[in-house]
Structure 1
Amino acid sequence: MNLMSQEELLALPTTTSIEIAARAIGLGRTRAYELARSGDFPCKVIRVGTSYRVVTADLRRLLGVEAPAA
């Protein structure tokens, strides 16, 4: 499993897929979906139709990665 670099995390859009968020955290895809379905994913997850989106700001906060000041 390839963890994401800080640069990759900072380049993510406002929301990202559950797969990308799982990679950033170090979770497998199946476990990430299990946590999202049960409401236990460690970041805010938004359900859009049949897919899950993770709020990138929450993901960065969880990992201690702050965006540089503008």
Structure 2
Amino acid sequence: MAKRKWTVAEVRTLGTVTDVETAASVLGIGRTTAYRLARSASFPVPVLRVGHRYVVAVENLLKAIGADSGADPAV
């Protein structure tokens, strides 16, 4: 299965926070690896634990993919 290519504009439409699976997809990380990294505090961006969920601030995700440059490349 091919990995989805995210654009900066698509990431911005996610809102304020997103789930760890979506964040992992944006970063090109698989689901199982994403949860393992989140549990070990090794995910590439800060992850918050809210109850039984892991969430990622979209602002941090945008920084991680280099969205500060103003360009809108496919990620």
**TM-score by shorter chain over 0.5:** yes
CA RMSD of aligned residues (A): 1.2
Counterpart in the other structure of 2:58: 56
Q: What is the aligned residue count?
A: 67
Deviation at 1:5, TM superposition (A): 1.3
SS in structure 2 at match of 1:33? helix
Unmatched 5+ residue regions in structure 2? 71-75
Which residue in 2 is equivalent to 1:16?
18
Superposition pairs for residues 1-70 of structure 1, below 5 Å?
1-66=3-68
CA deviations 1:9-61 (Å, max 9, x no partner) are: 11111110001100100000000000000000011101011110001111000
Q: Distance in 1 between matches of 2:9 and 2:23?
A: 14
Unaligned runs of 5+ in 1: none
Higher RCO, 1 vs 2 (CA within 8 Å, ≥6 residues apart): 2
